[in-house]
Amino acid sequence: MSRKTRIGKFGFVNNFLPYYRLEQNGVAVVEASPKRLAGLLERGEVDFAPVPSFYYLKNKEKLRSYEFCVASTERVLSVVVVSERAGRLERGAGLEGEWRNGCVAATNQTVTSLNLLKIILRERGLGEVGLGEAGLGEAGLGEAELGEAWEVKVVNESRAGELLKHGTYALVIGDEAIRARLTNKYRVELDLGAEWRELTGCPMVFGISASPREKELGEESRKVLESLAWGEKHVEVVVGEAEKKFGMPAEFLREYFNSLTYRLGARERRGLELFEEKCYEFGLL
C-alpha cells in the first residue's frame, strides 16, 4: 500500500490563510520554517510544500513547481531590516552616510531574503556585501567575499533583539519580523518587498510550491488552491482565528494578508526571473 502524500507549509502567519480550510477539513500538514521545509522536501519527508525561492532556483532541475506561491505585491511587512529606535537614522538623505560601514545581523533561517538584501544594497550602490559567517546548512549559499563597506553576519537567532546584539541592523523574517514592527522598540529601515518593487516594478516571490520532479502532485496543488480561495472569500473568519492564534491585531492581519499574493501569475514569474538574473549577476547562483 502506498503511503499518503505529505503536504508541508511555512510555519508563519503568511501560510495561515491559504492552509486554514485545508487543515479545518482534517488534512494533516507538516509545519516548519522555510529553510527546514526545503530540507524535508529534499530528504523525502514531505512531498509537496512551498520552498524558499533561492532554494528552488538553485535546485530547479530536481524540482517541479506549481501555482501556489508566497509573494508580495509591494510591501511584504514580514521581511525587514530593523534597528534600535534609540539609534535611528534619518532616511531623508537616503541610505548613504550612516548606512556605510554598517553590519547587518541576519537570521540563519533565511537564504532568499539574505540574498535579496545583498542585491538591494548592491543596486543602491552601497558597496560589496560580505558574509560574516557561514552556517546556511542545507540551503547551500556559496562563499562570498567580505566587502569594504559592509558586513552581513549570519546568526543562529531569529528575534530582532537577539540579532541586534551582533550588528547595528537586523534582517528579520516571518512572524518575528511582524512582532518587531508592531513594537515601538524597533525602527523598520527597509521593507525588502517594497525595495524590490521599487527596483524592478515586479512582485517579489519569496516562496514557491514544489515537489520532487519525479512526482506530479497536481491534485495536492489543487487542494491548496481551493483552500486559498476559501480563505480569500472568508477572510474575516481567517483573520479572527489568526488573531487568536498569533496574538496580532486584526487590523494588521487584514493589511498583511492583503499585501501578499499566493498565485504565480505572469508578473510573479517575471519577478522570479529577475531575482534569478540578479543572483547570477552578483555571483550568488
Closest CA to 13 of 87, 79, 73, 88: 79
| Amino acid at residue number 39 | G
CA gap 5, 46 in Å, rounded: 8
pLDDT tens per residue, range 180-236? 999 989 999 999 999 999 999 999 999 999 999 999 999 999 999 999 999 999 999
Hey, how many other C-beta atoms are within 10 angstroms of the C-beta on 142?
11
pLDDT tens per residue, range 237-282? 999 999 999 999 999 999 999 999 999 999 999 999 999 999 999 9
Phi-psi group of 184: left, alpha or beta (phi > 0 → left; psi -120 to 50 → alpha; rest → beta): alpha
Strand partners, 7: 29, 48
* 176 has a pLDDT exceeding 50: yes
* 2 has a pLDDT exceeding 50: no
DSSP single-letter state for residue 282 = T
Q: What percent of the chain has pLDDT over 90?
A: 78
Q: What's the pTM value of the predicted model, to 2 decimals?
A: 0.87
* 138 has a pLDDT exceeding 50: no
CB burial of 167-204 (b: ≥16 within 10 Å; e: otherwise) equals bbbbbbbbbbbbbbbeeeebbbbbbbbbbbbebbebbb
- Element housing 10 (H / E): strand 7-10
Sign of CA dihedral 21, 27, 33, 35: negative
* 143 has a pLDDT exceeding 50: no
The second-level CATH assignment, the architecture, of 7-73+202-281 is: 3-Layer(aba) Sandwich (3.40)
Sign of CA dihedral 69, 73, 76, 82: positive
Query: Which residues touch 266 (CB under 8 Å, ≥6 apart)?
Result: none
**Dihedral through CA 1, CA 7, CA 262, CA 51, nearest 10?**
-120
Contact 108, 131 (CB under 8 A): no
| Amino acid at residue number 279 | C
Q: What residue spans define the domains of the chain? A: 7-73+202-281, 79-200
Q: What pLDDT, on a 0 to 100 scale, did the predictor assign at position 132?
A: 47
Domains 7-73+202-281 and 79-200 share a fold: yes
pLDDT tens per residue, range 20-39? 999 999 999 999 999 999 99
Query: Which residues touch 236 (CB under 8 Å, ≥6 apart)?
Result: none
Contact 129, 116 (CB under 8 A): no
CATH topology for the 79-200 domain: D-Maltodextrin-Binding Protein; domain 2 (3.40.190)
**Averaged over 157-168, what is the pLDDT?**
94
